[in-house]
Amino acid sequence: MCWKSTSPEATREIGFKIGSSLKESIIISLEGGLGAGKTTLVKGLAAALSIKEEITSPSFTIIAHYQGTLPLVHIDLYRITGIEELEELGLEEIFDNKGISVIEWGEKALSLFAGYGYGQDTLIRVRIEMEEDGSRLIEIQGLDI
């Protein structure tokens, strides 16, 4: 399924639609370049989960935890350079929290997802492509909204 976003507000709305469709124990892999709108999409998703805290990219802290109607763990793998660093984060324990795990730069961890047994029923992939006109093409796999 593909959506076109022409503004940050529209990207947040798509995130809200995703968040409104989620059940527990879901992993969302967010993929897209710098400035594509990954954190903006997470802000909408968090709003759908009734999270009141301000959502910021956890680029330096790597992992941020939020409590809403479902727990949300927001992970940013931008600075992670290898599989050893990924394994040190303890992602398997995080994924077992019965909440929602959203991973920016999730393509870096796809091999781990399969190794941990996460797949079609638990993994949603969201790819954000920046278009020449400044809009975003948002492709969602694993969830119908």
pLDDT higher than threshold 90 for residue 137:
yes
pLDDT higher than threshold 80 for residue 38:
yes
Model confidence pTM above 0.95:
no
What confidence score (pLDDT) does residue 21 get? 95
Confidence of residue 119 (pLDDT cuts 50, 70, 90): low
Average pLDDT, the chain: 89
What confidence score (pLDDT) does residue 87 get? 75
pLDDT higher than threshold 90 for residue 111:
no
Q: For the chain, how big is the Rg over CA atoms in Å?
A: 14
What confidence score (pLDDT) does residue 62 get? 92
Average confidence (pLDDT) over 121-144: 93
pLDDT higher than threshold 80 for residue 83:
no
How far apart are the C-alpha atoms of 53 and 68, rounded to whole Å? Answer: 9
Which strands form 136-141's sheet, in the order they lie side by side? 2-5, 136-141, 123-130, 26-31, 100-104, 72-76, 63-66
Residues 2-141: name the CATH superfamily.
P-loop containing nucleotide triphosphate hydrolases (3.40.50.300)
